[in-house]
Structure 1
């Protein structure tokens, strides 16, 4: 009986041992995807003066089997993010190539105002109650945007009354950040002319009749305006003839007041200090040519009028009566050239001379022509006279 109970106990012990052995063996685990935990969405402003912000974060990874897993993010932590929203994706892979991931966003906001610089205060002079003021646009820089527009009140080109006026300018970037700056326009009644200090007199020697000279411009000062410049006549760099030349310089301020100064340029010829300037030589030559032309014209006119006085008027103007018996009719003088067919006739009644191209008559009964006749004069009209020489060959009349 005791053996029977002993066997039963042994059998129970064996069964219980097998159960303990099976219970003590670990369970086989099923591989799972790593769990990647991202941070919450991030919103930050830009770095001062920069269009971006550097952002960093921490991502945790857990796995049911593997340990010490890490996550890789795109973009990575500590990257620079520009204005706007960027999505970041982080992933992790375990030894069984299971991949886990998570996402979050980084939002960069532009909270920085533009940097704006206004022009300096403006001082204007006027001789009336107002003055027109203009200025360059204010300078605007922004950490994100470029080409921002500026607006000023009052605007450039406005007429300002005498006194002080405040001008405010402003600019707004794309994010709505506004910047402004101010300056003043002072208008002063100005009736004072600018002061000019001309250079000293300039002395130059030359071997020719002229020299090219330059000088430093006059110094200009004014009670209101600055940066004024002067203009000179003749200007610097001009050519000056031998002798002394006055150079006048003037400048105007914004109110229209004029200032002047003067200096002298002396050009001395080395070979002949008393040489005549070139322009005088030109004047003398022109005068001589003019005198010569006028003298020639006078001689021509005298000759023309002399020939005109000696010329007979056309025979169509005077009807010549035909002599009855003699070539020397009473009170008339008629001379005929047989070769040329010309006749000259002086009539006491009309007291004029006429030249006939073709004689109106030839009397065959007349005796041959006598030798050359002496000068014949009408006693009543001594200023109207003529004479003719006719040789034996009946040549043309000769006066």
Structure 2
């Protein structure tokens, strides 16, 4: 029944046509909310549409409302990101509601835009403009943004300095963008310069030295460098004119020059100074005469210096040499001076040890090597020797002091030391295990220092785990595992192993096989429960089936779609069908049975249905027909001349549900039934042996179960009569069983011969489709019952069983009533 009130009218009639009625009401109320399925959670950028056409639409289903209304409400929270919680609401036409949430994450990951001042070129560093401190110059599509000065970097190429000035734009969510301004510093202006005033001197040696302090110079970008360039000479008799050039150069190489004039006129005699006294250790050290060491000058010209002679005076080991030099000017004027040279050997030999050495390991200390020692003596070749090593330890540093000795022929000696520092500063080498990819977090391998390769130049290495760090990108976790190798001096090196955790496996899902289930009697739907299993390698699985278990499935075939989704959105699906059918219901046969060849017989169907449709779907005798009431609860029919007929009633409810009722019965031939069944006291003739024989057959009931008679004789008789009277063609196996039992009793009591040949009427071309013995007919019919005990209208074995039933019915006289 549909939702709402329904009036039920009941009528009771007796055989005389008297009747009475009563009415009651059935109220059907829908209190079940519709089912609703939300779209999946989604992440969008700010500015994207939040309309369900972009983010997904919920779907709803209701048993009583084919089109439940779906609405939603939104609530925002947070800023970066902003969370939109969308609550979907499904409402059926009776006001029942159901909700589910959808989470829409609105994030801003786009950087803002930025503009900076234009690039420019200046002459000097002091001309560089200050950074622009204003916050303008930044914009963002999702909200406010501000610009800040980050810093300047400098790059020098010769005298050109390029300043890269960086600004940063930051939006409200912390997204940033940078841009740069280029400022070029390049000095192209020459400095200014003024040389000292001109001057006159008597002698060439009186010419003043170049004096840049007397030069005045300036530059637009700083202090220039003043330098003397050169003197040029012009001679006119005894007059020499000196032109002195000065130069001013700025930092970038721009320069300018100016000159000073100096006039030289010489009238004085030359002067001379011999070299200073000298003391030497050995006779071989006496220097050769060196006029270059003589100082001589003349105010007016060039002086010629010459060696005159040496004179010797010996006092023990001391030799005194007097050396005379002469200076002569261009006019022949001269002067002399003496140098004293004393020869006396008192010096120790000199020695220089090899330079300091630093080695990494104690085993790298070199052996003593006198060939690397440099030693000399003023008077002879000294002897070099190794004295010894001393050691001083400071932490992991060992200082070795190595002493060498040089001795001359007179026993004078000298020593020198070489410093050898032993200090291990090299880090060990370390190689991590190779990168690993695992499916689940629980699959991450434990740290294993045995898998780390490490070595050191000076000895053993200690390997240790530093720790793991984690970086998450969506459902991918990157584990950076750091190992450390440390040598005995505390030098260490680290290395990283990368472990990637990424679940790429779909969950497993298993649907049941297709389900076929009968609806309860007179019901449009059937509650169907089923079990779908799902599992995942890394944890929990979300399982969604539509329709869910326990749903009311309508008559017909419905596809159930199931989806299993793990935490990383890997998913697997399966489907199966649920077929709900409405079973054929039985109507009771008329009691008493109608007489053959009679009209105005009636059959009445169940009350309360919206439509009725009667038909005769089969008959074993002629003249069975419906005369009126085909579409009414009560139908009027004519019983045939013989045999039986199967009546079918199809009814529908106001909501469109369809049900089928069937009944099969024979007409009463008025006592003309032959054999065992022609005796009105046939039931009284039944014996225990008869029931023993019946129990050898595969007799069936209305639901297809076995029917045997193993009680007391009286109980068997009453059960047998009830079984025969309740027979129905809804299950053709039940109808065939009743006719088979009748023929078995006719044979047992001598009313039928097993060898008698009777018509077969086709039955799958058995015996050519013509005739068969009663013994073979009993055997074939029983075999059919043993093979299939339930043959409703859709069963493929029903046709053969019905053919056997008709052949037995004709042979039994078309009745099985006792």
Q: With structure 2 as the length reference, what TM-score do the two structures score?
A: 0.20
Which structure is higher in RCO with an 8 Å CA cutoff and minimum separation 6? 1
Q: With structure 1 as the length reference, what TM-score do the two structures score?
A: 0.37
